[in-house]
Amino acid sequence: MSQSELNGDALDQLFLRARTFHAWQKRPVSDDLLRRLYELMRWGPTSANLCPARLLFLRTPEAKERLRPALTPGNVDQTMAAPVTAIVATDELFFEKAPKLFPASKGVRDMFASSPTLAKETSFRNGSLQGAYFILAARSLGLDCGPMSGSDNAKVDSEFLAHKPASQAVDQAMPPCQVRSNFLCNLGYGDPAGLYPRGPRLDFDEACLLL
C-alpha cells in the first residue's frame, strides 16, 4: 500500500507545534483513551518484534503520592497536577515473550537468554524506541506530553516495579519479571500559560552527514 505525506496540520500536531508541557488543564484523561494510546504505540517496530516496553499509568492521587519521593523537586508540582503520569519501563526478560511475538524463529528466546549483556542492551534500546512511539501516539490522539528524566529510577523501581512476583507484575501472564523504569511522561491537556520559550534545535549541517 502506497504511503502519502502527512499534511501540515498533522506534522504540526506531532512535531512542529508540539511542545513539552509543565502545566495542565483540569481535564480528565479516560482509561479508554489510554488504551487507544497503547493500541497505536504497540505497532512501532522493535528488534525481532519483542516489544520490551511496559507501561504503568498513574491516574489517582494515591498512586501519585507513591511516586512523589522519587521525583526531583522541580518535577513535583507538574507531576501532581497532571491527569496521568506514565512510567515508561523496560522488561529485561522481554525475550520470554518470543514464542508469542516472534514464532518464526525458535532460537530467538535462547539467544537473548544466554547473553545478559545483549538482552540488557536490546531491551533498553528498543524500550526507548517504544517510549518515542508512546509520545507520538499520545500527540496523535490530541494529548499533550511532559516527558521527564528527573526522577530517581531506583526509587521508582523499588516502589512500583522491581522483582515483583508474577501476581503483581506489570504483565501477569509472564513469569517473575525484571522490569525497570526508563523515564516518566506526564499526560493530559497542557496549559499554554505554563510554556517556556521554545528552545533551538541543531541545523541539518550540524547534526547530519550525507555520504
At residue 121, the 3 state secondary structure works out as helix
25 vs 2, more confident: 25
**pLDDT for the residue 148:** 97
Contact yes or no for 70/174 (Cβ under 8 A): no
**Helices within the chain (DSSP H only):** 8-11, 31-41, 61-67, 73-81, 98-101, 108-113, 116-140, 153-156, 204-207
Neighbouring CB atoms inside 10 A of 12's CB total 12
Over residues 176-203, mean pLDDT = 92
Full strand arrangement of the beta sheet holding 53-58: 53-58, 84-91, 179-188, 144-148
Contact yes or no for 67/159 (Cβ under 8 A): yes
161 vs 138, more confident: 138
Over residues 7-29, mean pLDDT = 97
Over residues 6-22, mean pLDDT = 97
**pLDDT for the residue 167:** 44
Count of alpha carbons within 13 Å of 203, Cβ hemisphere only? 2
Q: Could you read off the pLDDT of 47-67 as tens digits, one per residue?
A: 999 999 999 999 999 999 999
Over residues 175-193, mean pLDDT = 89
Whole-number mean pLDDT of the chain?
92
Domains of the chain: 31-189 (3.40.109.10)
Res. 73: pLDDT tops 90: yes
Res. 162: pLDDT tops 90: no
20 vs 166, more confident: 20
Task: Say what percent of the chain tops pLDDT 70.
Answer: 92
Count of alpha carbons within 13 Å of 50, Cβ hemisphere only? 27
Q: Could you read off the pLDDT of 106-154 as tens digits, one per residue?
A: 899 999 999 999 999 999 999 999 999 999 999 999 999 999 998 999 9
Residue 46 is given by DSSP the state -
